[in-house]
Amino acid sequence: MTMTTPGTAARYIGQSVRRKEDRRLLTGHGLYVDDVSLPGMLHAAFLRSEVAKATITKLDVTAARALPGVVAVFTWEDFNGRFGEAWHSMLGEELIVPPPLAIGDVRHVGDPIALVVAESRYLAEDALDLIELDLDVVTPAVDYATAAADTEHLVHAGWGLPSNAMVDVPFMPLSGDLDEAFAAAAHVIECTIRQNRYVPVPMEARGIVASWTSGRDEMEIVAATQSVHEARNFFARYLGIPEGNITVSARDVGGGFGQKMFVFREECAVVLASRLLERPVKWIEDRRENLMAAGHSRNELGKVRLAIDDDHVIQAIAIDHVADVGAYPICPAVADLQLLPGPYKIPRLGFSMSMVWTNTMGKAAYRGPWMFETTAREMAIDHAARTLGIDPVELRRKNLLSSPDLPFTSPAGNVFQEITPLETLDQALEMLDYEAFRAEQAAARAEGRLLGLGICVYVEPTSMNVPSLGTEGATVRIESSGKVVAYLGTTSHGQSIETTMAQIVADQLGVSYDDVTVVQGETQSTPYGPGTGGSRTAVVAGGAAREAALVVRDKVLAVAAHSLEASPADLEIEHGNVFVKGTPTKSLTMRDVAKAAYTHAQDLPADIGTGLEATVRFRPTQFPTWSNATHLCVVEIDRDTCIPRILRYIVSEDCGRMINPGVVEGQIFGGVVQGIGGVLLEDFVYDADGNPLTTTFVDYLLPTTTEVPMIEIGHIETDSTTNPGGYKGMGEGGAIGAHAAVANAVGDALAHLGINANSTPLGPNDIHRLLVEAGAD
């Protein structure tokens, strides 16, 4: 498409303007799914499996159905044959959402078996206790590192599948001379990097209100979702009714981080229940369910090999990768191994890949679902530096890309442009004062203290062209009052979209930020959008909002030119007034223009009397839009308690032109703290029998105010050329970079004791174990 040049200088873009979302959220007037109450609404609760693998030998719901206040108890037989196709546009028709309730057997703890619908949630939960369930328990497959080769304990034996390997890609050299490079290398470094299972944990758990009206064949859904449009499209297929008969809305969503990107089997069950009962049904999951059964993440390992020459140039990188996808993966996204060389000039690559079913909760998307490539590479590079006895900064400097190297084509064919890996490393090291840190570290070690620095440099593929994610739509309309509404296909769950998109529209139209309202998160009035995720809103939705506003701007100028008897080229718009350049007295307000365009349209020439509204679908010129960053983390480990404490955390990042620096930094802060949690505090643990041990906030520890450092951020703004605003995505980067940075900091703090800390988590117990093993406790 043609990219229009904006006519007015940026006034809001680049400013940390106050958020449009804040006033309602700060005063308790947000509208989350649990705040919705409809006449006649019923409440749902699930009976879930308490064991990892079993055959259901008895399921009797008679007593539960008889409890006063219980309206229905559903099992699989009630839903069988009553739904249609169950797939998502983004994931493809082959990946089917599992049946809403278990059919004859259970395959992980939390597997939903029955659904009680009652007059209150208290009563629904009472009824769960009255369901008679007998199970024939069998040995599950729990450890993903061994499950692929395990032909005795098959997760999907019930489907007749002969193996636990969901995907098994044998080793593929992407470079013809990979073997030669390893054979010729002065140093071949090998290590196994393991990342633990940690989970998204939005503060609002999952929830849905489904309301079927039989006389009109209409389904109205309010859900905690990242994609109202995809939920609508999904349920149109699922229920076999036209999309137009379904409304999905999500005004406020309390976080998602990937977990709420796709429709869940529980949501399917609630929708079916509403259709069968012809009444509104609400399901709000509790925290135990969310931790146990809303989708898990990470839990991957890689055996990494690096071929390094005498000059410490990395000549090749290879990985044998294994990922746990649980029993029913919701989104089986794992490490993007094509991106393993990351922001380095490494010329050769090879990998194998194994995705393994286990009798645990299925994999969900979580902020940078492919990020293990960064963790594996950055931890392996630190391992290599330790092994070779060289400075990890120098090893990175020698191999990192910087602006003069661009464009650069990676061995997997990724073309990098407008990225600044070496520049961000340099900026971050300057913010730290690297030389001073190493001196301080040497002094600390001499005193017996454990002080370490972790580094992580990465590129982030934002706004990717995976199926359905390539475009976004926006409708911009100037209303009869002269105020502006932008209708977007996005679904915000904390990204400040109402704010940033209003900044873009206001700047393009020359109107006040306060005069722009953004409508999103509902399907009836907004253009299709595939969902808010994948760090794509700024680039793709921002592009759509910008281009639609510019079309409307041209319409405004045409109408005003007619009224003012001037040429559109001689007009300017500022502060909502259209005026002749150099003659500010000859002007119209936006309300005057709207009146001319709508109320007196018949007085305008036919070609310009068409209102002040435009819809544009936008597609970036290239995929993905690359952004990049360097993270530095300084950790000190207490010798007595083994508690690691973060002393400094520095991010230098390049997300292109920033729409709102406050929003950018907020996204980075949140992502970084999720990564800190994943290494130092959070660990979702199953025992050998597949029982989850961390299903409360007392066992699954989120970072709190007492653990987080004040995070320092440096910006490098290199405009992207994939979109006219110059934006790059950045929603996931904080979470991508933080894991390896924190793990490497702990590793560096322990390195001089001969310890290679290559597995996470690295909390006090793990550090204590490493010290004991090294004889250094």
Enter the DSSP assignment of 143. Answer: -
- Helical H runs in 694-759? 733-751
- Closer to another protein at the Cβ: 421 or 454? 454
Tell me whether residue 602 or residue 706 sits nearer to another protein (CB atom). 706
Query: Please, what is the minimum distance in Å from the beta carbon of residue 161 to another protein?
Result: 36
The site that binds another protein (CB under 8 A) totals a number of residues, namely 56
Distance (Å) of CA 111 to CA 155, 225, 360: 13, 21, 9
Q: How far is the CB of 702 from another protein (least distance, A)?
A: 5
DSSP H helices, 117-167, are: 121-128, 144-147
| Residue from 568, 680, 545 nearest 617 by CA | 545
Q: Kindly state whether residue 711 participates in binding another protein, applying the rule CB under 8 A.
A: yes
How long, in residues, is the chain? Answer: 777
Q: Check if the beta carbon of residue 657 is closer than 8 Å to that of residue 13.
A: yes
* Of 382, 402, 203, 219, the residue nearest 294 (C-alpha): 203
Residues 49, 468: Cα–Cα separation, whole Å = 34
Would you give the binding string for another protein spanning residues 248-287, x where CB under 8 A is met? Answer: ----xxxx-x--------------------------x-xx
Nearer to another protein by C-beta: 602 or 705? 705
Site for another protein in 31-60 (CB under 8 A): 32, 34-35, 37
**Does position 669 bind another protein by CB under 8 A?**
yes
Can residue 241 be called a binding residue for another protein (CB under 8 A)? Answer: no
Task: Tell me if residue 595 falls in helix, strand or coil.
Answer: helix
Stretch 281-300: interaction string toward another protein, x if CB under 8 A: ---x-xx-------------
Which of 696, 765, 772, 777 is in the footprint of another protein by CB under 8 A? 696
Give one word for 119, left, alpha or beta, with left for phi > 0 and alpha for psi -120 to 50. alpha
What part of residues 360-389 is at the interface with another protein (CB under 8 A)? Answer: none
Nearer to another protein, 205 or 564 (CB): 205
Q: Of residues 6, 98, 202, 543, which one binds another protein by CB under 8 A?
A: 202
DSSP state of 49: -
Angle subtended at Cα 109 by Cα 106 and Cα 114, rounded to the nearest 5 degrees: 55
Amino acid in position 745: A
Minimum distance from residue 133 beta carbon to another protein (Å)? 24
Please give the distance of CA 501 from its chain centroid, rounded to a whole number.
19
Phi, psi of 105 (to 5 degrees): -150, 160
Give min distance, CB of 747 to another protein, in A: 23
Residue closer to another protein by CB (options 21, 522) is 21
Site string for another protein, 145-184 (x = CB under 8 A): ----------------------------------------
Cα 245 to its chain centre, rounded Å, is 29
Within positions 98 to 137, which residues make up the interface with another protein, using CB under 8 A?
122
513 is an interface residue for another protein by CB under 8 A = no
Q: Report d(CA 5, CA 658) in Å as an integer.
A: 18
| CA distances to 234, 304, 353, 440 from 172, in Å | 36, 14, 9, 44
Binding of residue 68 to another protein (CB under 8 A):
no
- 635-302-672-312 Cα dihedral, nearest 10 degrees: 60
Beta bridge partners of 283: 208
Q: How far is the CB of 333 from another protein (least distance, A)?
A: 20
Q: Considering only residues 99, 670, 714, 764, which one is a binding residue for another protein as defined by CB under 8 A?
A: 670
Q: Looking at beta carbons only, is 299 or 695 nearer to another protein?
A: 695
- Nearest-approach distance from CB 701 to another protein, in angstroms: 10
- Sites of contact with another protein (CB under 8 A): 16, 18-19, 21-23, 25-30, 32, 34-35, 37, 122, 201-205, 252-255, 257, 284, 286-287, 493-496, 662-663, 665-666, 669-674, 696-698, 702-706, 708, 710-711, 734
